[in-house]
Structure 1
Amino acid sequence: MATNASRSSRPRDSAATKELLLAAATTEFAEHGLAGARIDRIAERAGANKRLLYVYFGDKEQLFDAVLRRQIGELARETPLIDGDLVAYAGARFDYMLAHPQTARLAAWRRFEQGEPGEAEIEGYRAKVEAVAAAQREGRIDDRLPAVDLFAMVLRLTESWLDAPPALAAVAGDDPRSAGRLREHRAALLEAVRRITAPRPKNA
């Protein structure tokens, strides 16, 4: 008969194994995408029996979805768009993507391999676009561009250097990811967003 201690340890063991599998899957999918990822490698990275992967997540596609949901959730929590402040948002998103390169790689694989977004992701973007539209109505940012287009432009600007073609990055010097180069680009990014979002003078 199982003791109370052994019964109470099982959920923790299960949760820990799931976390190990998710972490291993995040690395595997970031490196190889959905098609190239291998269940055996994920299980080996996690130090777990691959059968547990099917028990907890169903199949490789469902595991990929679970990884994406976690990445999207973490990105949303760490880079909120507060009061439609696109300058602050751009800085936070640049910092996050720089610190979490796996997120950018997973997003690229997702665009290439899985075109259909989830409802939660759509609603997340809808809320941000609505925040931009509200700031436009209140005169806090320029309203000459549709909110969805303005947000899309800022979104891509946050990754413009991190995702730059290698040949373009080489133009900047020997180390396009040096601390000095990244500081310089971040300042340029914020200034660019500031300029395209600054509200028009009242007499314009």
Structure 2
Amino acid sequence: MKIFDTEGFPNPARVRIALAEKGATDKVDFIAVDVMGGEHRTDAFKAMNPDATVPCLELADGTHISQCNAITEYIDGHFEGPSLTGTTPKQRAQISMMNLRAENGLLNAVGTYFHHATPGLGPDLETDQCAVWGNRQKETATQTMTYLDEVLADNDYLAGAEFSVADITAFAGLAFADFAKVEIPESLSHLTAWRAKVASRPSIAG
């Protein structure tokens, strides 16, 4: 099993955390992709992943799986250990719901702000920018932080009592927010406490 990624980027970080939670980091080979050099946009890479994004999972039979949620779902089902995506229909639905809220409202919103309303990865990679849309998504990210804080006022984790992929996505989203200089409002004490708790997990703290 191979994972083509760029270490330190938000979505590759999600996959690496999921692997660590399952105790499977040493069961895959990581292949570095030079995003800054545009390797993800080459014909060779797009033959594996037409989305031209990292990460991309390659299975032993040559199958390629892209899209971070699909990769983490495969990892969760393939390796032993506590489930990150739920074991009952209700759990799976709740985790999926919160994961998508964290992804769309926080991680992707911060990404849109970074790529459209800041210099982002530089002029060679950032084309067709729309600053108005980027700044609107910055507002969306802050609104989502407030929503997540409200959820965490009554729950240990974003989808209930157990750590899940929703927490991984939100944690990566906040790390991206730090990088993009999108601040967490000081009033969001539940979100801040949750973040410290998640950061102390062996899969993240090392």
Which structure's CA Rg is the greater one? 1
Question: TM-score w.r.t. structure 1 length?
Answer: 0.31
